[in-house]
Amino acid sequence: MSDPAPADPCPQPPQPPLPSDCCDSGCPLCVHDLYNEELERYRQALAAWRLRHAGVGPGA
């Protein structure tokens, strides 16, 4: 009996920061910077996932 295929769910986008998460004081590492980095990682992960799951849309 073979093992079932490992789960490979579609990556989920990061949650954007709430307006109250930013203090607007010019922090060197703002929550918006962190979000943009997470968003870029998500886009890369989604592109890789789509290659592995050709013909399947996100959220499947």
11, 49 in Cβ contact below 8 A? yes
Domain that residue 40 falls in: 28-52
Residue 16 belongs to a domain: no
Q: So what's the pLDDT on residue 15?
A: 97
Residue 47 belongs to a domain: yes
Q: What DSSP assignment string belongs to 11-35? A: P-PPPPPPGGG---S--TT-HHHHH
Q: pLDDT tens digits, residue range 5-44?
A: 578 999 999 999 999 999 999 999 999 999 999 999 999 9
CA distances from 59 to 35, 49, 55 (A): 21, 11, 12
Does the pLDDT value for residue 55 go beyond 60? yes
Number of structural domains (the chain) is: 1
Residue 1 belongs to a domain: no
Residue 37 belongs to a domain: yes
Residue 36 belongs to a domain: yes
Residue 58 belongs to a domain: no
Q: So what's the pLDDT on residue 20?
A: 95
Does the pLDDT value for residue 1 go beyond 80? no
Question: Distance from CA of residue 44 to its chain's centroid?
Answer: 8
Q: So what's the pLDDT on residue 5?
A: 56
